[in-house]
Amino acid sequence: MRYIFNFPDIGEGLDEGTILEWYVKKGQDVKVGDSLVKMETDKVVADIPSPREGTIVSVYGKVGETINVGNPLAEIEIEGVHGEEAQKVVAEEETKKEAVEEEGAGVVGTLEVAGNNAFMPASDEGVDAAEVSSASLSHRKKALATPVARALAKELEVDINQVQGTGPGGRVMKEDIKKYKQQSSYKAPEKSTQVEETELVEVENLTQIRKAIAKNMIQSKHNAAHMTVFDDAEVSELIRLRKKFKANLAEEGIKLSFLPFVIKATALALKKYKALNSEMDLENGKMIYKKYYNIGIAVDTEDGLLVPVIKDADKKSVKELAKEIGEISEKARKREITLEDMKGGTFTITSYGSIGGKYAVPVINYPQAGILGIGRIFEAPVVKDGEIVVGNNMPLSLSVDHRIVDGGEVTRFLNEIMMYLNEPVAMLIGT
């Protein structure tokens, strides 16, 4: 029996991926779970496993090509099933596949069917799952749909993002697409004209990461009322404390930068100012205040900006945070980051000081309420005990969604962070 394996929906609303490497070739035997191909999506690089055991008959797509969800990836010959029995097996499998995908957005090897309010926060402290799920769904711009529905939409030349879904959680079903096709005068968009390559320009295809960055930046600017405040934290004592312990931690293979101190200070401040750790569900008229503190850190990689998440930052020591920052940053640079590493962020920190930047206007990681930017520490005159002395200032740039947070609370929140950075002992004992 010949089995056509289509590029599956691997979650997070992804609808396409770029082939980075084939692990198999024609005539090669594979088992269930064997990696077939390495795909780059707009969030992660993932190995796609084989759903069946058999022999590879064909592979579809070359390295560098972009494949849409629902398009064929590989054709597998499965032994022991022939003739009428083969047709019966195929029919049964397709029926089961469609039923399961329509209910649970099938992910090869990791399918979980959880109904309409599926949400798994990193911490279960006081979070209403139904509310969070509702808010998350209301912010999605891409249609929630299965590979079966996406394949049909492509066949009928329907823009699936324009179709109103009637399935669980607003998921677009096959019947929704058929109905939309019948009722609308939809016209397929014209293909854009290719930029002519000459000696005066250099043309490169957009990477999946760059597409995601462009999409997320526009989404944030269109949906949040940005406001940014600037201030300087005097960090001479923090510099002394870091210098004291830096060498000892280096012997354990841990790099102690200023970032773990900033993450710890931010997590403690978020516990006092809940609006900065929230999101707005305007469609349902609700605010969602999160009682878990997962800090996203912007990592600059050769392929673009990635934002892995440090889970439960408030519960970890500075040493634990430094160790985790090193590990997750290395994974991001090697493109070994997983979807799980990117999920669940409640607030984001970006550090441009390491490459010389001082102040900036960071763009909010929507639908979060705020993002903190850290600039390069510089010497400046400060007044201590009535005398002017040389101090060390850390520039801070805090962008917030002004729909959620008022100016007074923004200032108090930033003052709290600066207090911890100015007196790091208070941060370490959690006062």
In DSSP terms, which residues pair with 351 in a beta bridge? 374
Residue 53 and residue 24 in contact, taking contact as beta carbons nearer than 8 Å: no
In the block, which residue shows the tokens 């979980």?
112
Radius of gyration of the chain from its Cα atoms, rounded to whole angstroms? 25
Question: Cis peptide leading into 367, omega within 30 of 0?
Answer: yes
DSSP character string of 294-340: -EEE-EEETTEEE--EETTGGGS-HHHHHHHHHHHHHHHHTT---HH
- The 3-state DSSP class for residue 68 equals strand
The structure tokens 């499965």 sit at: 78
Q: Which two tokens stand for residue 207?
A: 């990477």
Which alpha helices (DSSP H) does 166-317 contain, by range?
174-183, 208-223, 236-251, 259-272
Between CA 401 and CA 98 the distance in angstroms is: 40
> CA 251 to CA 246: how far, in whole Å?
9
> Looking at 82, 139, 226, 402, which residue is catalytic?
402
Known active-site residue 402: yes
**CA–CA separation, 209 vs 68, rounded Å?**
16
H-helix or E-strand spanning residue 101:
helix 83-104
Positions marked active-site: 402
